Amino acid sequence: MPTAAAALELQTLLDATVDAIIIIDQHGLIERFNKAAERLFGYPEHEIVGKNVSLLMGDEHRAHHDSYLRNYQATGSAKIIGTGREIEALRRDGSTFPAALSVGEIPSLQNPRFVGVIHDISIRRATMAALRQERDRAQLYLDTTEVLLVAIDTNGLIVLVNRKGCEVLGFAEAELIGRDWFEQVIPLQDRAAARAQFQAATDSTTPSYSERPVRTRHGDTRLIAWRTTVVRSSESKTLSFLSSGEDITEQRFTETQLRARESHLRAAQHIAHLGNYEYHCASGTAHWSDEMFHILGRDLGEGPASYDLFCLNYLHSDDRDGYAQEWQRILSGQPTGDFEFRIIRPNGGVRYVHLLAQTARNPSDGGLVITGTLHDVTERSLAASNAQQMQEKLAHVGRLSTMGEMATGLAHELNQPLTAIATYAQAALRLMTQADTEEDVKEALKQITAQSLRAGEVIRHLRSFVKTHVAKTEPTDLNQLVQDLRVLAEADARANTIRLVLRLEDHLPSVQADTVQIQQVLLNLFRNAIDATERGSGDSREITITTRSVDDKVEVAVIDHGSGIPTEIAANIFSPFFTTKTEGTGLGLAISNSIIRAHNGILGFRQTPGGGTTFHLTLPTLAGDDNER
C-alpha cells in the first residue's frame, strides 16, 4: 500500500509529465487522468474518472478495445504491453488526433490495472507527410526529366538512377542499384579512362563535362554527354558523384554525317575543279566554297574579293571588258549567266574558267542574290587547242606516211626497168647463138639502153623526193611528244582492244629533234607492236611506251608482248623492202632507222622479258651535245 508521501510523489510525477497518462481498471474504467491528459483530450479529471476509456478513442479502436480487455482477462496475454501502438484519439470536442499509446500493467490478483501513456504525434505525422510529399515530388522530377540522372558512391556503386537512365541503359532500376557503374555500363575499352576521370573529379569543385559511351543491356553503344558534380559532406568529405547525362548519339551521328557530306562535297568540288559562290548584291557580301579559292589560287583566309577587286586582281586583262558586260547583263535582270573567261593566279598562272550564274531575290530584304559555279576548264581548253595542233601535225604525218607508199612505188618503178634490162640481155645472149637474129639482138640492146635511162630517171626522182624532207629540228621534250602521240596511238590500240600504258620518267632532258619525224618513227614502232600483239598468243594485250634518260641520252622504248622476232629474220629487220606482213611495204623500219640515224641516234630492239619485242630509240640530249662541243 502506498504511503501518503508516495501518493504525493506519484501525483506530482503524473502532473509534471508532458505525455498524457491514464490509469484504468480491469474493466476499462478510468481511475486517474493527469494534467497533460486533461490538456490533450479537453476533459477535466473529475468529469472523466469512472468513464470507460473507450470514450477517448476513435471509432475503430473503440470497437476493438473491449475485446482486447476481455481477451487479456481470459488468456492473461496482452499484445499491447511493452510494445505500444499508434491510435486515433478522440477529444472532448469530437476532434481526433494521431497518438502513440504505450500500455503498462499494474499487477494485482484481485484488481489488476493498466496505465496508458499517450503522446500526440500529429506534428510528427504532418512532418512525415510533408517529407513524403517532397520525396515523391523529387522522384517525379527525377522520373519525368529527359535527362539521365545517376549517382554513384566513392566505390563506384550506383546509388541512384532515374527512369530516363534506366530507359537509355535498358536495365531495370533493381539491376543497377548497388552495382558497379563502370562494370555494368561502361564499355571495356573506355573503363579505365572513365574511372580516372571520376578520380580526377574528386578534387574538383566545379561540375565537369565529358562525353562517354555507355553500353546498354541490348549491347548498343550510346554516346552520353555527362555533367558530373561531387556531393560532399559538411566536412568536405566526398560522398558521391551525381551525374546528369544527355543521350547525344543521334545528334553526334547527324553531325558526323553532315561533316562527311560537307567533306564529300568539298572533295567532289576539288576533283571537278568546280567551286560555288553566292553573292548578295545589296550588301556586297559573298560566300565562296573552298574550291573557289583553289581555282583562283588564293589562300582560304583571303576572303571573297569585292567586285572591283575581283575584276582588277583576278581577271585576265583581256577578259575584263567581256566579264563586266556579262555581269552587267545579270545585274540588269537577265536571270542566268553562262560565260567563259580567263583568270590570273597570284603566281602568274593563267586558268580558263567557266562561270554559271543564277539570280534570285533574297526573301528577307528583296535584294538580288547571284548564286552559281566556277569551273576550271583549263585542261579541257588546252586539250581542245592541243587537238587542233594535233590535227595539223596529223596532216603532216599523213603526208609523211605517203612517203612510205611512194617509196614502195618507186622501188617497183626501179624494179621494172631492171627486170626488162636483165631479160633483154639474157634474150640477146641466147639469140646471138642463133642464126638470123641480128635485128632482134639490136632491138634488145636498144631496149637495154632505154631501160637503163628509165632506171636513172627513177633514182633521180627518189633523190629529189628525199631532198624535200630536210629535217627541221628543235629542242624537244620527248615526254610531251609521246603524250601528243597518245591520241593517235590510243585510237589504234582501242580498235585492236589493246591497252596502251605510258611510263614516262620525270624531268627528262630535251633532245634536238624533228618532232614530226620522231612521231612518225614512234607511230611506226607502235603499229608494229600492235601487229606483233595480234600475232602473239594474245595473253597480254598491252603495249607500254617508256621514256628514261641514260647517261647523256634519252631512250624511248615501245614494249610489246607479242609474237617476237625470229632470230633468222632479226638480221634483216632494218633492210628496205623487208617485211613479214601481208600489207607491209618493208620500208617502215628502214625509214625509221634512217630518220633516227639522221638524228645521231640509234634504233634497236631487244627481247621483252617474258616474250615479245622492245624497240628502243636513243637520242643524244641537248646538254650532251653541248658537252661534246
Partner 1 sequence: MKDKAPTVFLVDDDDAVRTSIRLLLRSVGLPVETFSSAQEFLDNVDGDRLGCLVLDIRMPNMSGLELQQRLNDLHHIIPVIFITGHGDIPMAVEAMQHGAVDFIQKPFRDQDLIDRINQGLEKDRINRDDLKQRDGIRERINDLTPREREVLDLVAKGKANKVIAGDLNVSQRTVEIHRARVMEKMGASSLAHLVRMVIEANRV
**Per CB under 8 A, 194 contacts partner 1:** no
| Contact assessment for residue 357 and residue 341, using Cβ atoms and an 8 Å cutoff | no
**Per CB under 8 A, 408 contacts partner 1:** yes
| Contact assessment for residue 106 and residue 114, using Cβ atoms and an 8 Å cutoff | yes
Residue 291 CB, shortest distance to partner 1, in Å, is 58
Residue 340 CB, shortest distance to partner 1, in Å, is 52
Residue 604 CB, shortest distance to partner 1, in Å, is 23
Stretch that binds partner 1, among 227-235, 296-304, 374-382, 415-423 (CB under 8 A): 415-423
DSSP letter, residue 621: B
How many residues are recorded in the chain? 629
Give the nearer residue to partner 1 in terms of CB position, either 441 or 504. Answer: 441
Q: What is the per-residue binding string for partner 1 in 421-460, x denoting contact by CB under 8 A?
A: xxxx-xx--xx--x--x--x--xx--x--xx--x------
Residue 602 CB, shortest distance to partner 1, in Å, is 25
CA 336 vs CA 139, 259, 288: distances in Å: 63, 31, 19
- Binding footprint of partner 1, residue count (CB under 8 A): 35
Q: What stretches of 505-541 adopt beta strand conformation (E)?
A: 511-513
Residue 620 CB, shortest distance to partner 1, in Å, is 33
Give the nearer residue to partner 1 in terms of CB position, either 339 or 577. Answer: 577
Q: Which of 116, 536, 586, 612 binds partner 1 (CB under 8 A)?
A: 586
Stretch that binds partner 1, among 159-167, 201-209, 258-266, 580-588 (CB under 8 A): 580-588
If residue 128 lies in a helix (H) or strand (E), which one and from where to where?
Answer: helix 122-144
Residue 575 CB, shortest distance to partner 1, in Å, is 10
Q: Which of 418, 502, 573, 602 binds partner 1 (CB under 8 A)?
A: 418
Q: Which of 412, 446, 499, 503 binds partner 1 (CB under 8 A)?
A: 412
505/7 Cα distance (integer angstroms): 128
Residue 577 CB, shortest distance to partner 1, in Å, is 5
Q: Which of 184, 416, 473, 540 binds partner 1 (CB under 8 A)?
A: 416
Give the nearer residue to partner 1 in terms of CB position, either 341 or 424. Answer: 424
Residue 529 CB, shortest distance to partner 1, in Å, is 19
**Per CB under 8 A, 534 contacts partner 1:** no
CA 577 vs CA 153, 154, 586, 590, 593: distances in Å: 100, 99, 4, 8, 13
Radius of gyration, CA atoms only, the chain = 57
**Per CB under 8 A, 41 contacts partner 1:** no
Cell numbers representing residue 256 in the block: 558526323
**Per CB under 8 A, 584 contacts partner 1:** yes
Give the nearer residue to partner 1 in terms of CB position, either 134 or 457. Answer: 457
**Per CB under 8 A, 411 contacts partner 1:** yes
Stretch that binds partner 1, among 543-551, 560-568, 574-582, 600-608 (CB under 8 A): 574-582
Residue type, 211: E
| Listed residue (253, 264, 293) closest to 277, CA to CA | 293
**Per CB under 8 A, 67 contacts partner 1:** no
CA 3 vs CA 14, 30, 32, 109: distances in Å: 16, 22, 17, 20
374/504 Cα distance (integer angstroms): 32
87/124 Cα distance (integer angstroms): 14
| Contact assessment for residue 376 and residue 351, using Cβ atoms and an 8 Å cutoff | yes
DSSP letter, residue 81: B
Give the nearer residue to partner 1 in terms of CB position, either 320 or 454. Answer: 454
Residue 593's Cβ-count burial label (10 Å; 0-12, 13-18, 19+) is buried
Residue 582 CB, shortest distance to partner 1, in Å, is 4
Give the nearer residue to partner 1 in terms of CB position, either 184 or 416. Answer: 416
If residue 245 lies in a helix (H) or strand (E), which one and from where to where?
Answer: strand 238-247
**Per CB under 8 A, 383 contacts partner 1:** no
Residue 439 CB, shortest distance to partner 1, in Å, is 11
225/74 Cα distance (integer angstroms): 70
DSSP letter, residue 312: I
CA dihedral sign, ordered 591, 595, 597, 598: positive
Write phi, then psi, for 160 (nearest 5 degrees): -155, 140
**Per CB under 8 A, 577 contacts partner 1:** yes
Q: Which of 419, 449, 497, 607 binds partner 1 (CB under 8 A)?
A: 419
Q: What is the per-residue binding string for partner 1 in 87-106, x denoting contact by CB under 8 A?
A: --------------------
Residue 589's Cβ-count burial label (10 Å; 0-12, 13-18, 19+) is buried
149/243 Cα distance (integer angstroms): 6
Give the nearer residue to partner 1 in terms of CB position, either 516 or 530. Answer: 530
List residues near partner 1 by CB under 8 A. 408, 411-412, 415-424, 426-427, 430-431, 434, 437, 440, 443-444, 447, 450-451, 454, 577, 579-586
